[in-house]
Amino acid sequence: MTVRKLSRKMFRLSVGRRRFLWRFSILRRRLRSLWNRIIAFAAGKSTRYRQLSCNGMSSPSPAGDVERGFDRGNDPSDLVALKISLLGDCQIGKTSFLKKYVGREKEQGGIQMAGLQQMDKTLSVRGARIAYSIWEVGGGETSQDHIAIACKDSVAILIMFDLTSRCTLNSVIRWYQQARKWNQNAIPVLVGTKFDDFVRLPMDLQWTIASQARAYARALNAPLFFSSAMYNINVYKIFKFITAKLFNLPWTLERNLTIGEPIIDF
């Protein structure tokens, strides 16, 4: 047996063993967190991700936020474990946003403690299985100690605010600075939540908030998305954008700066 065939066989056995541990062991979450850290330390940002097939990502449907091109394979030959962090003030809709994206997989459990929770989302892109470990920091004073845990080794950090609350928007710079203390390489994304409430505001106030959010996004060198977990507006699209950036997939993101519509700016 050649070295290449032996390595391939050992890799398949390793994947099968990890899947078994994740499903049946009480240490499932801790092992996945440890695996993320090993990947980040051993490979580094420049070599962590391989190029995926260009056919793995389709253009977004104008009719909605459907996760096209992300089929859920049940027999993957490859697995890439990636970590994403969600930061922002409390009561801005981070948990609703997270649950909308994770969907039924949230029933499988995760990590929950005061000021911090973690959920998993697994999807397939042209045969490569991607396991997103998504960490949400609560936002209150007691959750400040969890920023390091959530941000270390993350490939993307979502800085979130409530579109109907100017004070939460003013906090995004502080959250960004705290995140960068622990992670200098993650992709930053600025996300405004509760767009369904935002569109009920007077048009001049919408314009003012949108202008300030765009200015902050430019300051952070981050794309800006207006979203709604209730109506599933731009939730999946945000994670598709992150996946395309990580794997250099040629997915075209359409810019939208129209006041009264869910803004996408980059």
**Residue 201 DSSP one-character state:** S
Q: Given its phi and psi angles, is residue 232 left (phi above 0), alpha (psi -120 to 50 degrees) or beta?
A: left
Residue ranges of domains in the chain? 79-265
Do residues 176 and 170 make contact, with C-beta atoms less than 8 angstroms apart? no
pLDDT of residue 228: 97
pLDDT of residue 199: 97
pLDDT digits (tens, 9 = 90+) for 148-171: 999 999 999 999 999 999 999 999
Do residues 104 and 53 make contact, with C-beta atoms less than 8 angstroms apart? no
pLDDT of residue 251: 78
**Residue 226 DSSP one-character state:** E
Measured CA distances, 211 to 35, 189, 259, 265 (Å): 41, 16, 10, 11
pLDDT of residue 145: 82
Do residues 242 and 189 make contact, with C-beta atoms less than 8 angstroms apart? yes
Q: Tell me which residues of the chain have a pLDDT lower than 70.
A: 1-78, 104-113
Residues 6, 7, 9: CA angle, nearest 5 degrees:
65
pLDDT of residue 104: 65
Specify burial of residue 199 (Cβ count, 10 A radius: 0-12, 13-18, 19+): middle
Hey, how many other C-beta atoms are within 10 angstroms of the C-beta on 197?
15
pLDDT digits (tens, 9 = 90+) for 221-245: 999 999 999 999 999 999 999 999 9
pLDDT of residue 178: 93
**CATH number, domain 79-265:** 3.40.50.300
Q: How far apart are CA 79 and CA 89, in angstroms?
A: 33
